[in-house]
Homo-oligomer: A and B are copies of this chain.
């Protein structure tokens, strides 16, 4: 798989989430798509990477959430040379704006389909 698709595995809490929201500027779709696919392949080799989910709407607003075991894994990915270069290029060429949030996942639940449904799914709590 060359890009995030569908649900990330539900890892045990606590772990960490990198929440990246962005507005594409509509330029260089081929370059952007190639870089996104390359970075998704790279991050899967990153120690402590747990999974990622991504969605981008028809207006080019997107949210990608990448999950890691801990802050050290996030820092290592942040400092990955190819990731850093792509990030710096993207800020100047692909995005009209972006926001990045680092968060500690305290609880995680899933529901339907079976591959996303631990027992917790039956509960109506968050």
Contact = CB atoms under 8 A, between A and B. Distances in A.
Given A7-B21, A21-B7, A91 B105 contact: no
Contacts of A75: 126
A109 B104 contact: no
Interface of A: 5-8, 10, 17-19, 21, 23, 53-58, 61-63, 65, 74-75, 78, 84, 87-88, 91, 95-113, 115-117, 124-126
Contact of A95 (B61, B97, B112): B112
Given A56-B57, A58-B58, A78-B126, A10 B102 contact: no
A28 B108 CA distance: 27
A24 to B, nearest CB: 11
B124 A98 contact: no
B61 A6 contact: yes
A49 to B, nearest CB: 14
B87 A124 contact: yes
Contact of A17 (B19, B95, B97): B19
Contact of A102 (B5, B6, B7, B105): B105
Nearest to A103: B103
